[in-house]
Chain A
Amino acid sequence: MMKPEIQKAPPHDFREVLQKSPFHARVDEKSLVKSWTSWNGYQTARVYDTLASEYFAIRSSCSVMDLTPMEKYRISGPDAVDFLNRLVTRDVSKLKPHRVTYVAWCNDDGRVLDDGTIFHLNEGDYRLCSQHHQLDWLLMSSLGMDVTIEEETHEVAALSVQGPTAFSVLTAAGISGLDVLKAFGIMHTQLNGFDVMVSRTGFTGDLGYELWVEPTQALPLWDAIFSVQQRGLYDVRPIGLDALEMVRIEAGFIMPGDDFNTAETAIRAGHDRSPFEVGLGWVVSFDKPHFTGKKALLKEQGEPIKRRLVKLRVEGNKPPADAFLYDAKKGRRIGEIKTSIWSPVLKANLTMADIEYRKGQAPREIWAEIFYQKELGWHATWAKCEVSEQPFWNHPRRSATPPDSF
């Protein structure tokens, strides 16, 4: 099928430091604290009103987040699937149309450049979403292949609608057919006369959808969803990046650039990471044609693993942000905590931590030395840590089809 022409967004006015998303009028209206940050150059809310209410919207009702700043690339042409399969470590040749898959990609040395998702929009027409800007790497990787790569970050507006009532809210907003949409599925539909693409994807470990429209339809989409709240049917709240950070750690999703240095930004030897070291061994497939980094990864696979990014639960209630990790109380230093949150649902300190392995062996014990403040006085304490192989939060709702309506 021919890929539709992408209408280029007008150039960003350089006098505005941060670019405004097509949802900005509504985002600004809903933002009570005006806590802005930059996400890929877009003016993005960290918090709208209070972090707790936004967090609980994700975990117990329905949340809406502006996803537009996420890097998006359209990939098409006769060699599109071969291109993608050589780019990423996972075998994506069998990804069916209207399906989504999680992928990571490496440089020649088998070091992770970024992770993301591939959307098989229609036969032979793909969208790659990534954390960081990847256009140069994609173009470089396309040498000798008949493939078209276009950035469409600014040409596609997207909302993430997540939470236990997300299905009910979207159905009430007028989107039908969601009852048969499976996890990682894509559906092309209409809402109030405009085209909407819905994917059952998200970053929360729970039921959720992502909705993709042309920028001109951004506000009508937002209004249709929030009309459900205005009609008094379900609570719907906008959420910022801070609440997302909490739920993504609960769900065990890693953030390249936060949890580990990406290969592109690593300057010193040893400061980059392989997929095995960040727990992405499960997306490395050697049983497929050549991909960038394959030779290096095959070699690494035969050697004892040197370190792992792990999901680490830290005992107690003292915040373990930036703590060093030891193999015993006052023992040998073996790692550090990269990102951490207090999980209100699980009542625990949850973290992503980088741990050294000795001779390929995980440390038997892990202890965090936590520095914390009490009335401006500093104190130190030790907390035992426990590695979790499973995500801290992975609700069966995430994949139940049809989803329960609450």
Chain B
Amino acid sequence: MTNTMDKSVVVVGGGHNGLVCATYLAKAGYKVQVLEARDEIGGGASTTSFAQGYKVSGLAHILHSLNPKVCKDLALEQAGLERGVAIETIALARDGQHLTLGKDSATGGSLSSEDIAAYTQFKKEFRRYAEALKPMMMTKPPRLKGMDHKDKFTLAKIGWKLRFGLGTDSMREFFRVGGINIYDVLNEEFDNPHLKGAMAVDAVMGLHMGPRTPTTVLTYLHRLWGETDAGQSLPSGGMGQVANALSTAASNAGVSIRTGAKVQRIRVENGKAVGVELATGEQIDASMVISNADAKSTFLDLVGTRELDAMFAHRIHKSRTKGTVAKLHLALNGLPQIEGLSAAQLGQRLLIADDLQYVEHAFNHAKYGEYSDKPVLEITIPSISDSSFAPQGHHVMSISASFVPYALKGGWEGQREALVKNIIALIEQYAPGFSAQVLASELLTPVDIEEQYHIAGGHWHHGELAIDQMFMMRPIHGTAQYDTPIDGLFLCGACAHPGGGVTGVPGHNAAQRIIAMGAGKK
């Protein structure tokens, strides 16, 4: 294995996970080249300019779950990573009675003392559930058939954590709520409708799910994984700064990175990946190809169905990957005025989700190829903490709007303006005079995200994070341990376990798997 050809690796896609995986492999002695189709690395973690003088984080806009082990292993802080200001979640109310949802405590509005106490207790308990599932997070998901020692060890650790980590009562409660919906659980625990609506957002955002959808407790726990490690923050310089730190770390480790290099084909010979072909026709040989792209793009477009078994290709094709979140960037001529919020509070994560019913109704429309007049919004104004994002006195607003369907009835042509107006009008209800402040806008529907970021379906997680597409079934069983039916081809992106978010975990796990397999493990 000392032969450099044996260890030459091409990573398709320079997203955060691709960079993380590449860096780990370079540190392990592989000769790694990252090929990114866009002109900038980072993928969903990027900072872009959408109007003259206005910048914003391109897709992901809040750093909430970058894995601490990855940060440490790759020395990201030395490579320039700044987490930026820590932020809390503020659920906006039309009457100015906003709620602040911290990591452990909720305040504001007309919250009863019971709800305040219940919130602290609930967060503590649910973070314990998330902790119990954590042995699953930083390793390949265990196979249920043909387990190796590592798989058995992972399952044993989870069993131990559930039984002895949680204790009898908590374990019983975990098993009761693990498969049900967040709607029922929140109604059991809380009274305040606004609080429940805001909490439900964390269970369904980015997914084709409403609060009443089964297994939304599980997706809530997935979100809490990030919170068990670090709070949420707005990195100065935007998410592109995170990508730059990853890129620096990769370069320091000896990874060579090429941007503007679009891979159009993963070359397979006799069932083995032997390299890639760029859109320019250039051929690059490698003994291993690692795809940071989603599963559909990787298998159906880049590899092609002819190199795959029919049922495998069919199951990839049928995996659910339609995104439900639109990204809206607004250039503002000043700070919006929201009654009851200070300028500092405006710089937090702002949510519009009046109650559980509001969130469920917003989702209902997406089921039928429509978007709601009252979407669920997650808003940040990054220019408050980083003045370089907008000209003096001006601001930018970055909005993730749920639920916006990928396949809009009648298509997106001619219907984009209406959605933008819709969202601005909704914010206007909370911030009088807001629409007059908007100077420019950029809307990324899931279709735009698909095209601009090369993610099939434009899905936050490169594929729905539902129980049948999680763990040992992510993206589908048969390729859930980062290796694929094609020898020498691996997945390292959000389509692999444990899914999306700027975590670096899929990249980390994929690298561990590749290194272990290189050492002769199956």
Contact = CB atoms under 8 A, between A and B. Distances in A.
B312 A86 contact: no
Interface stretch (A25-33, A285-293, A378-386, A397-405): A285-293
B300 A144 contact: yes
Given A290-B271, A295-B485, A143 B311 contact: no
B306 A289 contact: yes
Given A290-B271, A295-B271, A86 B485 contact: no
B391 interface: no
B310 A108 contact: yes
Interface string B118-147: 000000000000000000000000000000
Interface string B184-214: 0000000000000000000000000000000
A140 B314 contact: yes
Contact of B313 (A82, A87, A144, A295): A144
A295 to B, nearest CB: 6
Interface residues of A, number: 17
B305 A145 contact: yes
Given A86-B306, A86-B310, A108-B310, A143 B300 contact: yes
A141 B311 CA distance: 7
Interface residues of B, number: 17
Contacts of A289: 306
Nearest to A296: B309
A128 to B, nearest CB: 14
Contact of A137 (B305, B310, B317, B485): B310
A108 B217 CA distance: 34
A209 to B, nearest CB: 33
B334 interface: no
Given A143-B317, A144-B306, A292 B311 contact: yes
Interface in A76-90: 82, 86-87
A143 B314 contact: yes
Contacts of B314: 140, 143
A107 B478 CA distance: 14
B309 A143 contact: no
Nearest to B300: A144
Contacts of B308: 290
B2 to A, nearest CB: 28
Nearest to B299: A144
Interface in B259-311: 268, 271, 300, 304-311
B311 A108 contact: yes
Contacts of B304: 144
Contacts of A108: 309-312, 478
A294 interface: yes
A292 B309 contact: yes
B306 A293 contact: no
Contacts of B268: 290
Given A143-B317, A290-B271, A295 B309 contact: yes
Nearest to B309: A108
Contacts of B311: 107-108, 140, 292
A290 B312 CA distance: 13
Contacts of B306: 82, 86, 144-145, 289-290
Contacts of B305: 143-145
B439 to A, nearest CB: 45
B176 to A, nearest CB: 32
B310 A87 contact: yes
Contacts of B317: 143
Nearest to A83: B306
A108 B485 CA distance: 10
Interface string A45-76: 00000000000000000000000000000000
B507 to A, nearest CB: 26
A290 B313 CA distance: 13
A290 B310 contact: no
Given A143-B300, A143-B317, A292 B310 contact: yes
B310 A140 contact: yes
A294 B310 contact: no
B426 to A, nearest CB: 41
Interface in A122-150: 137, 140-141, 143-145
A310 to B, nearest CB: 28
A290 B485 CA distance: 12
B489 to A, nearest CB: 13
Contacts of A145: 305-306
Given A143-B305, A144-B305, A289-B306, A294 B312 contact: no
A293 B300 contact: no
Given A108-B311, A290-B308, A292-B309, 5 more contacts: A108-B478, A137-B310, A141-B310, A143-B314, A290-B307
Interface of A: 82, 86-87, 107-108, 137, 140-141, 143-145, 289-290, 292-295
18 contacts: A82-B306, A86-B306, A107-B309, A107-B310, A108-B309, A108-B311, A108-B478, A140-B314, A143-B310, A144-B300, A144-B304, A144-B306, A289-B306, A290-B271, A292-B310, A292-B311, A294-B309, A295-B309
Interface of B: 268, 271, 300, 304-314, 317, 478, 485
